[in-house]
Amino acid sequence: MQTSLHDEHTGTLALAYDPFVLTTGRFAPGQADRYCAAQTGADRCSLGLAELMYYRGDVQRASKEFVRLTASEDSATVMASILCRSICALSGGDIHDILDSYDSAKALSAALSADEPMRKMSDFFLLYFNILINNVPDIHFPAVGVNAFSVPQSLKPMAFYAYAHYLIETGDIGRAVGMAEGALIFMEKPCPVAEIYLCLMVSIGYTVRCIWDKAEYYFRHAWELAKPDGLIMPFAEHRGMLSGMLEKCLRYEEPQAYKKILELANKYHKRWVFVHNALTGDRIADSLTAIEYNVASLAAKEMTNKEIADFLGITVNSVRAHLRNIFNKLCIESRKEIGGYVI
């Protein structure tokens, strides 16, 4: 069963171990399978392997395993499985599973007293899920700072990833980049999955600021960490926010991986848009193709047609054609209107 420890620095109870296995696991790139198999206890081993299935894009198998693990006797494994099932639903399966899993997490949290360590963990998971779907109105962000002292030490890099994600959503790009870069500097390594997410957040921050060389550097570092174990799902999750960096770096250099990521990203994006728009009232577009979405995202950053063409490795005429399709699909008449339909 779940145990807890008293944190001498904060005076609060903290979880005795990390509820995740692979997400915050310390293993060398290329050793993910071996790391999961070495876990003590059948449920911990199964949880790690289910996480690995998800990160490799085998979403349906991962989802079934997470559902099975919600019956675990270990409360941390249950909470981790509920959150992971919600995220799986964004990539495949019944759309309503997303909200069902979210409601399950809220119910589990509400059943715990405010001072219980598992309540602190469940509150963090709920916060993370809202950040993931860009449901900014439901986020009371000072809670992230409080949660950072309550979650296990190994989970803190993911807490800072969530923090940086939120800051980007609210337009505080400088703090977001500083937060994620600082976490990368001070976190214990190796921790490939958390490093991948943090690197992608830094890349996205520099992309928003149109500092392309640094954006590409961090993207490529994330890919170096991910490639040995085939951890492609983080790239699919963030395809929209990466504004064409995926195409620039992987389309021709890693064509098979790029094709798989794109397939996953398209499924993820459609379900993400459904939930995001339903909860926020936004109108993020789900009718654009992958290349159209990238062109729209870059056009929204006020890049010229030639700059977009050079960045994506296509012709200026192709950019013009994509923009015409974008205008028709979104029923808009100018580039200035695009911003309301992309992340």
Structure-model confidence comparison of residues 203 and 283, the more confident one: 203
Whole-number Å distance between alpha carbons of 327 and 330: 5
Q: pTM of the entire structure?
A: 0.82
Task: Report the C-alpha gap between 102 and 194 in whole angstroms.
Answer: 22
What does the pLDDT read at residue 139?
Answer: 47
Q: For 127-171, how does the pLDDT look when each residue is reduced to its tens digit (9 = 90+)? A: 777 777 665 445 454 555 555 556 667 778 888 898 888 888 778
Measure the CA–CA gap between 133 and 113, rounded to whole angstroms: 27
pLDDT number for residue 143:
52
- Which structural domains are found in the chain, ordered by start? 4-282 (1.25.40.10), 283-343 (1.10.10.10)
15 has which bridge partners? 4
- Whether the per-residue pLDDT at 14 is higher than 50: the answer is no
Q: What's the pLDDT tens digit per position in 191-237? A: 999 999 999 999 999 998 989 999 999 999 999 999 999 999 999 98
Determine the residue type at 331. Answer: C
Reading the block at residue 274, the tokens are 């459904």
